[in-house]
Amino acid sequence: MLAPGNTIGILGGGQLGRMLAAAAARLGYKVHIYAPEADSVAAELSEAHTRASWDDASALRAFAEQCAVVTYEWENVPIAALKGLGDVALYPSIRALEVAQDRLNEKDFVTNLGGRAAPYMAVDTRDDLDRAMTLIGTPGILKTRREGYDGKGQWRINYDHEAEGISLGGQPMIYEGLVRFDCEFSVILARGQDGQTVFWDSAENVHQDGILAKSIVPASPLAQAQVAEARALAQQVAAGLSYVGVAAFEFFATDAGPVFNEMAPRVHNSGHWTIEGAATSQFENHIRAICGLPLGDTQLLAKGVEMHNLIGAEAADTATLTADPANHLHLYGKGEARPGRKMGHVTRLTQ
Ligand code: AMP
C-alpha cells in the first residue's frame, strides 16, 4: 500500500487526469502530470507538470524517478513512452494499453474469450475493403484501428459505392458490420492489485454525432437484463490482462444479447456520474487500485442519476447552469469552446 504523501504520475493532461488528481489529493497523494500541452487542465490541479513530448526519453525517465507509481488517463500514449519509464510501478499494464489501443487487437482479444462483437475484418488496402464489404455486407462502419475517438476516424458506408470516396491514407483500418441495437450501455469495473473486482451500476449511454451526450442510471430494463453477461465478459478480459485500475467496456444491447463495442483502459466519461451518484467514484477507486488500497463501495446513492456532457457552446451559459442547486456542475477549465469539445458535465440525482 502506497503511503499518503507519495507522488502519483499521470500520463496525459486532460479532464480525466484533472478528476483523478482531485481524487488523489483527497487521499493525500501528490500528482505529477506528464503532458506535452502547455495548458493542461490536469496540471492546473497538480503539484507538478512535466511538459515534454512523448518521445523525450530523458524527460520520461526524470518524470518516472519522481513518481512512486504511474498511470495514464489517455489510451493513445505511445507504448515506447511507457517502456521508457524504467522500473517504476505502472498500472494498468503496458499489455492492457497494447490491446486497447488497437481496435483489431481489442476485438480479437475479446472474441477469443468468447465475447460477441460486430462482424469485423482488418482493412489495409482497397481490395481488403471490397472483400470485407462483400463478406460482411453493408451497411457497415470503416474505422481507423488506432487513435479514433468521439466518432473521429470513422466512416459509415451504407452502400458499396460510397466506399469509393473514402481515402484509406495508408492507415490500418477495421471494417465492422453495423449492429442493430436497442440501446448502448457501459460496464465499468475497478480491479485491485489482489484481483478484487467491483462494478458500478451500468449506465445507458446516448451518443450524438459519435460523442457521448448523456449517461442514465439505471439503464433501461432491456439493457439491465444484459448487464450480468456483459460483466462476466468484462471481468474475464480484466483478469486476462492482469488489469489494475478502472476499465470501461461499451456494449450494444441487441436481441442476441450484449455485443461488445470497445474498451477503454482508464476512467471513462460514462462513469462521471459516480462522483456524486456512487459511494466511491471511479476516480477514487482508480487511485485506490493503483496505490494498493482496498477498493471503495460502488453502491448507487440515489434512485437515479443523469449525467449530461457540456459540449462546445453548451458550457457557455454558466448563469443558467449554476442557478439550479440540484445541478452538480463540473467545468474542466478548458479555454476555447470548439464544437465537439467536452467542456464540462452536469450530474443530477433523483431521490
Ligand atoms: P466507437 O468510437 O467505436 O465507440 O463508436 C462511436 C459510436 O458509433 C458508438 O457508440 C455507436 O453509437 C456507433 N457505432 C460504432 N460502431 C458501431 C457498429 N459496429 N454498429 C452500430 N453502431 C456503431
Cα dist. 267→19, 25, 221, 244, 336 in Å?
Answer: 10, 17, 25, 12, 24
- Asked whether residue 324 carries a pLDDT value surpassing 80, the answer given is yes
- Asked whether residue 149 carries a pLDDT value surpassing 80, the answer given is no
The mean pLDDT value for 168-190 works out to 95
Q: How far is the centre of ligand 1, averaged over its atoms, from the C-alpha of 13 (Å)?
A: 26
- Asked whether residue 320 carries a pLDDT value surpassing 80, the answer given is yes
pLDDT for position 150: 67
**CA of 118, closest atom in ligand 1:** 19
Q: What percent of the chain has pLDDT over 90?
A: 91
Cα dist. 88→83, 194, 261 in Å?
Answer: 10, 19, 32
pLDDT for position 210: 86
- Residue nearest atom 9 in ligand 1 by C-alpha distance: 210
Backbone CA torsion sign across 177, 189, 212, 230: positive
> In angstroms, how far is the first alpha carbon of the chain from the final one?
36
State whether CATH 3.30.1490.20 applies to domain 119-177.
yes
pLDDT for position 140: 97
pLDDT for position 83: 95
Residue 16: closest CA among 338, 302, 307, 282: 282
Q: How far from the centroid of its chain's Cα atoms is residue 138's Cα?
A: 28
Q: Which among 261, 263, 269 is the best mutation to test ligand 1's pocket, defined by most ligand atoms within 8 Å of the CB?
A: 261
Radius of gyration (C-alpha) of the chain in whole angstroms: 20
Examine residue 92 and say whether the peptide bond preceding it is cis (omega within 30 degrees of 0): yes
- Asked whether residue 304 carries a pLDDT value surpassing 80, the answer given is yes
Residue 151: closest CA among 209, 107, 102: 209
pLDDT for position 162: 85
CA distance 46 to 234: 32
**pLDDT tens column, 32-51:** 999 999 999 999 999 999 99
pLDDT for position 169: 78
**By three-state DSSP, how is residue 28 classified?**
coil
- Asked whether residue 148 carries a pLDDT value surpassing 80, the answer given is no
- Asked whether residue 18 carries a pLDDT value surpassing 90, the answer given is yes
CA distance 292 to 286: 10
**CA of 250, closest atom in ligand 1:** 4
CA distance 285 to 217: 19
CA distance 278 to 272: 10
Q: What is the pTM of this model?
A: 0.96
The mean pLDDT value for 160-174 works out to 85
The mean pLDDT value for 135-154 works out to 87
* The architecture CATH gives domain 7-90: 3-Layer(aba) Sandwich (3.40)
pLDDT for position 318: 87
Fold of domain 183-350? D-amino Acid Aminotransferase; Chain A, domain 1 (3.30.470)
CA distance 293 to 192: 8
- Asked whether residue 165 carries a pLDDT value surpassing 70, the answer given is yes
Residue 10: closest CA among 94, 1, 24: 24
| 117 touches ligand 1 (CB under 6 Å) | no
The mean pLDDT value for 243-271 works out to 98
- Asked whether residue 96 carries a pLDDT value surpassing 90, the answer given is yes
Q: How far is the centre of ligand 1, averaged over its atoms, from the C-alpha of 181 (Å)?
A: 10
- Asked whether residue 261 carries a pLDDT value surpassing 70, the answer given is yes
Residue 8: closest CA among 166, 245, 202: 245
The C-alpha angle 307, 144, 271, rounded to 5 degrees, equals 20
Where do you find CATH 3.30.470.20 in the chain? 183-350
Confidence band for 161, pLDDT divided at 50, 70 and 90: confident
CA distance 106 to 343: 29
Q: How far is the centre of ligand 1, averaged over its atoms, from the C-alpha of 261 (Å)?
A: 7
Confidence band for 69, pLDDT divided at 50, 70 and 90: very high
Where do you find CATH 3.40.50.20 in the chain? 7-90
Decide if 48 contacts 106 (C-beta within 8 A).
no
| 290 touches ligand 1 (CB under 6 Å) | no
The mean pLDDT value for 140-165 works out to 85
| 139 touches ligand 1 (CB under 6 Å) | no
- Asked whether residue 275 carries a pLDDT value surpassing 90, the answer given is yes
Q: How many CB atoms lie within 10 A of CB 341?
A: 17
Where do you find CATH 3.30.1490.20 in the chain? 119-177
- Asked whether residue 225 carries a pLDDT value surpassing 70, the answer given is yes
Higher per-residue pLDDT: 38 or 64: 64
| 210 touches ligand 1 (CB under 6 Å) | yes
Q: Which residues pair with 157 in a beta bridge?
A: 140
Average pLDDT, the chain: 96
pLDDT for position 170: 81
CA distance 106 to 204: 22
Residue 94: closest CA among 243, 282, 235: 243
Task: State the pairing for strand pair 89-90/69-72.
Answer: parallel
